[in-house]
């Protein structure tokens, strides 16, 4: 680390002068200063002004005025993609260090001008208070899916997202951790994690290359954790993306998703983590990214462990603060290790008529079991290029609901389930499965992959089925298009469960909802379906 002494000294005088509220072109009562390791942020009335420090670090260089101007502009450009209501403009600071003038030329400094928000609305604070709701995860996933979907892919010749670049970044973390952590037990944990990361990288190398070639490496936010997301109204808004180092933001979109998943898991919020993950996957269809997800979760946890180790090694910390930083570091190392450990996945298929509560069950189950759901209603429409809530205008037995379209849909569900199971994730296939042949194919898939299998059979009265279908059509908020006529047709055409199927069937009486007390035993059976850790390392199977 180094800085430009003249610039840095001058900047400190300028920042001190800007603590005077009279220096601002708008009325304010007081100015508050927040200092980070790379910037000063002046909170002045309705606005915040960020000035970049004249530092040269391993990952950034702000030592020249022109560089600071460039990165102020980059910060605006990049963050306005997701938070245009927060990031207003980059402005010159004229005058002199003791009497600066915001917006004046010639510039002696540059600042990013932002609209302030209440720090109490940041999602890291809200989640600690239990105020982050499932709907927030759905909204955030939809925002991120749209954002990623609108980004151009990295150029073919760039090094961004290459297997070599990914490996180098991971190994650098371990080199720094081994220098920072002095306890033999910590050294052993880091070495084991390094070893397992090398094995996992080798298993993922093919997938890294495939995803890069398919255009999944894009100019992302780069620092998507809960502390960089604020609730504005009812909408989660990501802010403070990385502007200073392109390599940290030109990443696989699944690397970005993994950061938020990791943060939620570390905060003991697996239900929210898997709700977000599933909503993102369903919105994008990027199920192939799951093959590298656990690797990236471990990588992100190792980065946070390194930050904790750096904090613990800083001079001047109290004994309590040092111990707290070390505990944080170790908790991230534990999460990284758990992410690379293979768990026994399971395959669960739903069974039931329209309105029986299959999707409600699957949503509850994916959060409870930390599983990935694939929905026939969504994937059927995806095959036809339609959004989940789009009206296909297809008639019963024709178009999107022809026998051929149904076969194609179940074939796609089968392909996705195989891919996800091989990646080590429990899979819930949300479909009617009213035909014995449809169920047989998935039972055989579980047998071929040697994973536990269950049929979650949803049972509800005819009155309940009718009422739910009518309500669903009235609200128009679900991908299913099945009406009363479809229900009656399927009731007549359904094929009963065979005796050998009953052995792996878990029934849910669903008139009062899947979480009613009558279904407690059924949930216990599904909870026990997934095995414990069977291998010290998670490695996706080759395709």
Per-residue confidence (pLDDT) for residue 480, from 0 to 100: 67
Per-residue confidence (pLDDT) for residue 493, from 0 to 100: 85
343-535: same fold as 2-116? no
Per-residue confidence (pLDDT) for residue 474, from 0 to 100: 72
Q: Where are the domains of the chain?
A: 2-116, 123-340, 343-535
CB contact at 8 A, 215 and 156: no
Give a three-class secondary structure readout of 273-310. HHHHHHHHHHHHCCHHHHHHHHHHHHHHHHHHHHHHHH
Note the pTM of the prediction, 2 decimals: 0.91
Per-residue pLDDT of the chain (543 residues; tens, 9 = 90+): 455 556 888 999 999 999 999 999 999 999 999 998 899 999 999 999 999 999 998 788 999 999 999 999 999 999 999 999 999 999 999 999 999 999 999 999 999 999 999 999 999 999 999 999 999 999 999 999 999 999 999 998 899 999 999 999 999 999 999 999 999 999 999 999 999 999 999 999 999 999 999 999 999 999 999 999 999 999 999 999 999 999 999 999 999 999 999 999 999 999 999 999 999 999 999 999 999 999 999 999 999 999 999 989 988 889 999 999 999 999 999 999 999 998 889 999 999 998 898 999 999 999 999 999 999 999 999 999 998 867 656 666 667 888 899 999 999 999 999 999 999 999 999 999 999 999 999 999 999 999 999 999 999 888 898 888 888 767 766 666 567 777 788 888 899 999 999 999 999 998 888 888 889 999 999 988 875 433 333 334 434
What CATH number labels 2-116?
Answer: 3.30.200
What whole-number distance in Å separates Cα of residue 24 and Cα of residue 17? 11
Judged on CB neighbours under 10 Å (0-12, 13-18, 19+), 313 is: middle
Per-residue confidence (pLDDT) for residue 529, from 0 to 100: 83
What whole-number distance in Å separates Cα of residue 236 and Cα of residue 136? 7
CATH topology of domain 123-340: Aminoglycoside 3'-phosphotransferase; Chain: A, domain 2 (3.90.1200)
DSSP one-letter string for 234-277: TEEEE-----S-HHHHEEEHHHHHHHHHHHHHHTT-HHHHHHHH
Of the candidate CATH numbers 3.40.50.300, 3.40.50.720, 3.40.50.1220, 3.40.50.880, the domain formed by 343-535 belongs to 3.40.50.300
Structure tokens at 144: 């991120």
Q: What is the DSSP letter of 158?
A: -
Sheet with 427-430: list strands edge to edge. 372-375, 427-430, 347-351, 453-459, 505-509
Per-residue confidence (pLDDT) for residue 515, from 0 to 100: 86
Structure tokens at 454: 């269950």
């Amino acid at each position: 680390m180094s800085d430009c002494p003249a610039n840095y000294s001058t900047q400190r005088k300028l920042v001190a002068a800007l603590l005077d509220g009279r220096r601002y072109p708008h009325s304010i009562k007081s100015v508050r200063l927040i200092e980070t390791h790379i910037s000063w942020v002046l909170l002045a009335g309705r606005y915040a002004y960020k000035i970049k420090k004249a530092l040269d670090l391993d990952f950034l260089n702000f030592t020249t005025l022109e560089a600071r101007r460039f990165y102020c502009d980059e910060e605006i450009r990049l963050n306005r993609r997701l938070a245009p209501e927060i990031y207003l403009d980059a402005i010159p600071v004229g005058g002199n260090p003791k009497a600066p003038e915001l917006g004046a030329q010639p510039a002696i400094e540059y600042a990013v001008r932002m609209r302030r928000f209440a720090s109490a609305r940041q999602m890291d604070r809200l989640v600690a208070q239990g105020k982050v709701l499932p709907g927030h995860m759905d909204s955030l996933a939809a925002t991120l899916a749209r954002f990623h979907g609108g980004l151009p892919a990295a150029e073919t010749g760039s090094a961004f997202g290459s297997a070599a670049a990914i490996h180098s970044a991971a190994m650098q973390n371990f080199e720094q951790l081994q220098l920072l952590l002095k306890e033999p037990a910590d050294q052993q944990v880091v070495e084991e994690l390094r070893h397992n990361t090398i094995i996992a990288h080798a298993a993922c190398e093919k997938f890294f290359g495939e995803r890069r070639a398919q255009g999944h490496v894009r100019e992302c936010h780069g620092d998507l954790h809960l502390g960089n997301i604020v609730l504005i109204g009812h909408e989660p808004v990501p802010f403070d993306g990385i502007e200073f180092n392109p390599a940290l933001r030109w990443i696989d979109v699944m690397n970005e998703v993994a950061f938020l998943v990791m943060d939620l898991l570390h905060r003991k919020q697996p239900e929210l983590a898997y709700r977000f993950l599933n909503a993102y996957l369903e919105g994008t269809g990027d199920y192939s990214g799951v093959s590298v997800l656990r690797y990236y979760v471990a990588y992100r946890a190792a980065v946070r462990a390194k930050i904790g180790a750096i904090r613990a090694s800083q001079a001047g910390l109290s004994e309590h603060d040092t111990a707290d930083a070390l505990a944080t570091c170790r908790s991230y190392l534990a999460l990284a290790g758990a992410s690379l450990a293979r768990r026994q996945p399971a395959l669960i298929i739903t069974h039931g008529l329209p309105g029986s509560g299959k999707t409600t069950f699957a949503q509850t189950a994916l959060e409870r079991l930390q599983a990935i759901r694939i929905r026939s209603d969504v994937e059927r429409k995806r095959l036809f290029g339609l959004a989940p809530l789009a009206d296909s205008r297809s008639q019963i037995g024709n178009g999107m609901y022809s026998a051929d379209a149904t076969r194609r849909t179940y074939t796609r569900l089968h392909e996705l389930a195989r891919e996800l199971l091989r990646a080590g994730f429990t899979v819930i296939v949300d479909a009617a499965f009213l035909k014995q042949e449809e169920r047989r194919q998935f039972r055989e898939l579980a047998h071929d992959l040697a994973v536990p299998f269950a049929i979650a059979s949803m049972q509800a009265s005819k009155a309940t089925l009718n009422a739910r279908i009518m309500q669903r059509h009235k609200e128009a908020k679900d991908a299913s298009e099945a009406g009363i006529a479809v229900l009656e047709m399927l009731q007549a055409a359904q094929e009963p469960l065979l005796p050998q199927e009953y052995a792996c069937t878990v029934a849910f009486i669903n008139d009062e909802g899947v979480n009613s007390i009558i279904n407690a035993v059924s949930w216990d059976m599904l909870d026990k379906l997934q095995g414990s850790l069977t291998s010290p390392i998670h490695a996706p199977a080759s395709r």
